[in-house]
Amino acid sequence: MEGLEAPIVSTREIVDAKPVAPQLSITTRLRVEGEDAEALWELYRAAMGPLDQVAAMIHLESRELMMQRFADPRITKVVGWDGVEPIGLGLITNDFSAVDDISADFFVNAYPEHAERDAIFYGMAVLVKPTQRGMTMFSRIYIEMWQIPARVGGVLIFDTCKFNRDNFGADDIIAHIASNFPNSSWSVIDQQTWYAAELPEPLR
């Protein structure tokens, strides 16, 4: 019995037909709106929500506020993509009127020369999709965020909770990223300590 004739297929056709893995990429935008903003909100909620159980300060802001920030051109959005899916986000600004709950006077007093040039930048948030945290996206977003003040000889201010410092080696990550930038330095400039006094009985 004769066998069926095998179809002739070129190797190029095989390669072209094979699914291509999505490419990781970084974009920098002043405004994010529409479907991209909705996708970033879901990413933000998934990444920041759990921190409210392990950190005293609120990390998960309201949807309304975050949508305002996504559309606010004073805040630069560094977005990490896996194909067309946003998987990472960094928010940075040098306009302190766009930031709540920090003292602009403190930073102006600490860095007067930078303040005169509007070269004090505040890193408002950095987050990556929980299932992608083992990838390089964190580092890529951090580097791109740090590049923004570095291009103007600026200073970058940011904060993190004790949980991230203790469990994710935040200090080591910061030192590693800083080592990539010529003549850079970093330091802890302030700390907020939370106390708890358990009082099972009143004074007698």
In the predicted model, what is the mean pLDDT of the chain?
83
Q: State pTM to two decimals.
A: 0.80
pLDDT band at 6 (very low <50, low <70, confident <90, very high): very low
What is 22-178's CATH topology?
Answer: Aminopeptidase (3.40.630)
Look up residue 15 and give its two tokens.
Answer: 């390669």
- pLDDT, residue 37, reads 95
CA dihedral 106, 111, 117, 121 (to 10 degrees): -70
The residues with which 123 forms a beta bridge, in sequence order, are: 92, 158
Query: How high is the pLDDT of residue 195?
Result: 80
Taking residues 173-196, what's their average pLDDT?
Answer: 88
Task: Compute the residue count for the chain.
Answer: 204
pLDDT per position as a tens digit, 145-163: 999 999 999 999 998 877 7
29-52 per-position pLDDT tens digit: 999 999 999 999 999 888 887 665
Task: Provide the residue ranges of all domains of the chain, joining segments of one domain with +.
Answer: 22-178
Q: What is the pLDDT at residue 71? A: 96
The three state secondary structure string of 79-114 is EEEECCEEEEEEEEECCHHHCCCCCHHHHHHHCHHH
pLDDT band at 16 (very low <50, low <70, confident <90, very high): low
